[in-house]
């Protein structure tokens, strides 16, 4: 987005920012929020506090205090952001996407920073890691929530835990990435601003039996990627609950395999044995680099949950078009009903690219990873403002796309 684009969109940006006004306690905070939001959309190379302050004419120290110390309600802003995204991109078959991304750091004072694995960096490095929630529908996609992951080792280090430069609140305890993901799903469901039916994620999240169960208990369908070693049954394994023993004490209720019960199989082994005729070619979306097409196959299975037979569902596999039997294959488990079309399930399973694209766009265009704050609150404030800026630019793209498709207006959409 260049200066001319921003000038043309400034009235819309003012209106967008006004939606969040009640979450800033004072008029000064609202003013700094407006200036920071504008700064994140400007075409400057590095969107840290100093550069933004210079561009928008704000006092750098005051803007830093707004970001790191001011007690404005970032969680309220996320709720309003989800309302806005629901209005702009909402659809009954919307999809929530879970993923995490790393933020490389050189220093040692930021909340949660340390040597840890980052899939974004592809290695163990000194970084912070955030767990994010994305929303996608046939109308568009963007990021809608965030959690900072603090490792257990970091939290149990007294010097780091009490560091004023990190300023992590004393009530914050250790939570796994899966727990942070589940928390965001529960909050989104409770707010009710985002219409959705599906949840998807890669195997780092999809392998969790408890996360899959949590989505099902919310009345939603998941289509989670799982590792090839995940086990299922292709037919009723024939387990049975033991009859009452007549003895005193707690009765045995866990089902047990019978002598003739078939063992569970790894999904990669099942997929490898599928007949050639079971694979169907589907175009799942039109991307900037052309159509995304894959071959899919699926069958009904019984999931293995904590070493026991679980619910019946789908095993779906995806591979590149024209692959040989030894090609790299992605496997998914889904609790969608037996009547769901393969085309819809394939579309959902392949939507992880949207959150990856949103990470790339947010880091490149709205400074998601440009922050230099070290405090826990500062991380949440900056990331929240970046998500707001991203959603605004995405909505502009969407509106320009609708006008262009109906022949209204001229020119293309401003680059978001």
pLDDT on residue 258: 73
pLDDT band at 16 (very low <50, low <70, confident <90, very high): very high
What range does the domain containing 64 cover?
A: 3-196+366-405
Residues 132 and 180 in one domain: yes
Residues 143 and 226 in one domain: no
Q: Indicate whether 141 belongs to any domain.
A: yes
Integer Cα distance of 203 and 329 in angstroms: 13
Count of positions (residues) in the chain: 416
The yes-or-no verdict on residue 286 having pLDDT over 80 is: no
For 227-282, how does the pLDDT look when each residue is reduced to its tens digit (9 = 90+)?
Answer: 999 999 999 887 877 666 656 656 556 777 777 778 999 999 999 999 999 999 99
Q: Indicate whether 67 belongs to any domain.
A: yes
Q: Indicate whether 354 belongs to any domain.
A: no
Residues 38 and 139 in one domain: yes
Query: CA nearest 230: which of 327, 330, 100?
Result: 330
Q: Indicate whether 360 belongs to any domain.
A: no
Residues 12 and 104 in one domain: yes
For residue 366 the two structure tokens come to 């709205």
pLDDT on residue 25: 84
Residues 372 and 340 in one domain: no
Integer Cα distance of 227 and 279 in angstroms: 20
Residues 52 and 168 in one domain: yes
Residues 60 and 183 in one domain: yes
Residues 51 and 142 in one domain: yes
- Domain total in the chain: 2
Residues 398 and 301 in one domain: no
Residues 192 and 266 in one domain: no
Residues 177 and 135 in one domain: yes
Phi–psi pair at 114, nearest 5 degrees: 170, 175
pLDDT (average), residues 119-141? 93
Q: How distant is the alpha carbon of residue 234 from its chain centre? A: 31
Q: How far is CA 64 from CA 86, 124, 284, 318, 381, in A?
A: 31, 30, 44, 47, 11
Task: Specify the DSSP class assigned to residue 256.
Answer: B
For 366-414, how does the pLDDT look when each residue is reduced to its tens digit (9 = 90+)?
Answer: 999 999 999 999 999 999 999 999 999 999 988 876 655 443 333 333 2
Residues 307 and 376 in one domain: no
Torsion angle of alpha carbons 153, 158, 164, 165, nearest 10°?
Answer: -40
């Amino acid at each position: 987005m260049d200066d001319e684009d921003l000038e043309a969109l400034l009235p819309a940006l003012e209106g967008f920012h006004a939606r969040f006004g009640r979450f800033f306690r004072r008029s000064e905070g609202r003013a700094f929020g407006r200036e920071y939001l504008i700064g994140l959309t400007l075409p400057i190379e590095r969107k840290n506090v100093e550069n933004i302050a210079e561009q928008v004419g704000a006092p750098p120290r005051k803007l830093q205090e707004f970001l790191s110390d001011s007690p404005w309600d970032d969680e309220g802003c996320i709720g309003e952001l989800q309302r806005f995204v629901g209005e702009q991109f909402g659809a009954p078959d919307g999809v929530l996407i879970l993923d995490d991304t790393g933020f490389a750091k050189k220093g040692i004072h930021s909340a949660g920073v340390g040597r840890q694995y980052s899939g974004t960096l592809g290695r163990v490095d000194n970084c912070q890691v955030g767990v994010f929630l994305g929303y996608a529908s046939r109308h568009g996609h963007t990021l809608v929530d965030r959690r900072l992951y603090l490792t257990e080792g970091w939290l149990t280090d007294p010097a780091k835990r009490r560091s004023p430069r990190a300023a992590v609140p004393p009530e914050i305890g250790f939570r796994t990435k899966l727990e942070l993901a589940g928390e965001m799903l529960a909050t989104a469901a409770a707010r009710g601003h985002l219409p959705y039916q599906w949840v998807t994620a890669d195997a780092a999240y999809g392998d969790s039996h408890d996360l899959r169960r949590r989505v099902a208990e919310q009345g939603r369908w998941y289509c989670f990627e799982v590792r090839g070693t995940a086990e299922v049954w292709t037919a009723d394994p024939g387990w049975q609950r033991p009859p009452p023993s007549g003895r005193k004490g707690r009765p045995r209720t866990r089902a047990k395999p019978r002598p003739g019960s078939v063992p569970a199989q790894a999904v990669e082994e099942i997929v490898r044995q599928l007949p050639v005729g079971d694979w169907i070619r589907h175009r799942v979306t039109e991307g900037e680099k052309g159509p995304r097409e894959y071959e899919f196959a699926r069958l009904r299975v019984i999931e293995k949950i904590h070493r026991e037979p679980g619910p019946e569902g789908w095993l779906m596999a995806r591979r590149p078009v024209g692959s040989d039997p030894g090609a790299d294959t992605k496997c998914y488990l889904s609790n969608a009903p037996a009547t769901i079309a393969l085309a819809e399930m394939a579309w959902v399973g392949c939507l992880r690219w949207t959150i990856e694209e949103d990470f790339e766009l947010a880091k490149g265009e709205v400074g998601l990873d440009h922050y230099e704050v070290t405090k826990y609150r500062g991380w949440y404030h900056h990331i929240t403002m970046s998500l707001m800026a991203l959603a605004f630019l995405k909505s502009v793209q969407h509106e320009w796309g609708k006008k262009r498709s109906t022949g209204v207006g001229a020119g293309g959409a401003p680059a978001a």
